[in-house]
Structure 1
Amino acid sequence: MTFFGLPFQDIVFYTLAAILLYAGLRVITTRNPVYAALYLVLAFFTAAGIWLLLQAEFLAIVLVLVYVGAVMVLFLFVVMMLDINLDRLREGFWSALPVALPVGGLMAVEMVMIVGVRNFGVDKVAAPAPHPADYSNTAELGRVLYTDYLLPFELASVVLLVAIVAAIALTLRDRKDSKSMDPAKQVLVKKADRMRIVKMQAEVTKAAATENAEEAK
């Protein structure tokens, strides 16, 4: 099926790609953080559609369920619940421009070198090959991930672990209202330091003594 001389799949791809670019630009250009989160949700949905065209059904479902259904909903609720002062956030924005421009330019050059025409040219792009009926997208992804890309996968897990530890350390940093504890001191604590057994003489009221005496009879 063709429209205007182009296959229907190409038209769907170009449409989704245009929506994805627009949503990505609006994420970083809109001033309202709630709108930015909603545009990011749109970008995730559109990227999932592109992955479906590439027959990567598992990645598309994971993107929708994990990022849109969990992470972005959490971000959206946090942004809506926090009282964010937008004017204060914009203070000092232009002062970081001398550092942001070289860093952004360097990142753009790196992306062009990696995702350039030399590596992903038109002559190297081909339609996905048809798969047999018993083909499993999830099993194939797991096989490639844990064989060919095992070292990058383990390195990524270490980086995520370091990020988690860094986030906890930043949250529990020394502040006036912080109630953080030192794990080294917790390990060295003994039972006698935390619990003290006090022996007290039992006190029995007259009514209780009378009741106990009657029960004894």
Structure 2
Amino acid sequence: MFNILSIIMVLSSILVIRSENPVHSVFFLVLVFLTSAFILFLIEIEFISLLFILVYVGAIAVLFLFVVMMLDIKISVFDKDYMIYLPLGLFLGFIFFFEVFMSLYQNFLPSVNVTNSHIYMNWILSVDNLSNIETLGQLLYTYYFFYFLIAGIILLIPMIGAIVLTLNFSFKSKAQYEFAQILRNKKNSVYIAEKVID
């Protein structure tokens, strides 16, 4: 499953760069974020995985999508001028992968795996078998419940303020009334102002 998700993530990240339509590029970017969140969920980092889905997919990628769809971006055609940068890109990619391979080879030398031996016992898992989200929930609702409530109130007050500002109709606001402007005619719109002398 890890290999399938990583292959999908690499292919979709390549398609982010290669797709000519910017809307399709943003969709492939959403797919990259989702597959990376699934990979993090597979290696039991649930909190970071949910943060990826909430922050990247739910906020940033949707914002990108709305901006790209609202702006009238013309689809760029793949031109031959881009091919002059291909040798430089291949050279830099080769250097990057060579450095990564050499650092992995030097830093992670083969050693004896202690977890596979019969002597090894993970006492933390035997005593406390909680996931990351359960541990975070216990901390939030026990030790930091006051700060959690204050954060909820701080988020609630601007939401109520935004609703009140949109619902409150004031006659003093400088808004345009298109219907009243269209219905005006020459008789009730053109008049001579008399100068008042005190």
If the length of structure 2 is used for normalisation, what is the TM-score?
Answer: 0.51
CA–CA distance in structure 2, aligned partners of residues 24 and 94 of structure 1 = 20
**Residue of structure 1 aligned with 2:40, choices 48, 51, 59:** 51
**Aligned-pair RMSD on alpha carbons?**
3.7
**Residue of structure 1 aligned with 2:9, choices 1, 20, 25:** 20
Q: Structure 1: 5+ residue runs without aligned partners?
A: 1-11, 140-203, 210-217
Q: Which structure has the higher relative contact order (CA within 8 Å, separation 6+)?
A: 2
**Residue of structure 2 aligned with 1:79, choices 60, 68, 85:** 68
Task: Evaluate the alpha carbon distance shift between residue 122 and residue 26 of structure 1 in structure 2; reply closer, same or farther with a 3 A threshold.
Answer: farther
If the length of structure 1 is used for normalisation, what is the TM-score?
Answer: 0.47
Q: Structure 2: 5+ residue runs without aligned partners?
A: 117-121, 137-194
Answering whether residue 24 of structure 2 is matched by residue 35 of structure 1, we say: yes
CA–CA distance in structure 1, aligned partners of residues 109 and 17 of structure 2 = 27
**Of 110-119 and 96-105, the range deviating more from structure 2:** 110-119
CA–CA distance in structure 1, aligned partners of residues 112 and 22 of structure 2 = 41
Partner of 2:86: 97
Compute the displacement of 1:64 (Å).
Answer: 1.0
**Residue of structure 2 aligned with 1:119, choices 101, 104, 108:** 108
Partner of 2:166: none
- 1:184-199 matches, within 5 Å, as none
Task: Evaluate the alpha carbon distance shift between residue 42 and residue 122 of structure 1 in structure 2; reply closer, same or farther with a 3 A threshold.
Answer: farther
Matched residue count = 131
Q: Which amino acid aligns with 1:102?
A: F
Q: Which amino acid aligns with 1:84?
A: K
**Residue of structure 1 aligned with 2:57, choices 54, 68, 74:** 68
Answering whether residue 196 of structure 2 is matched by residue 205 of structure 1, we say: yes
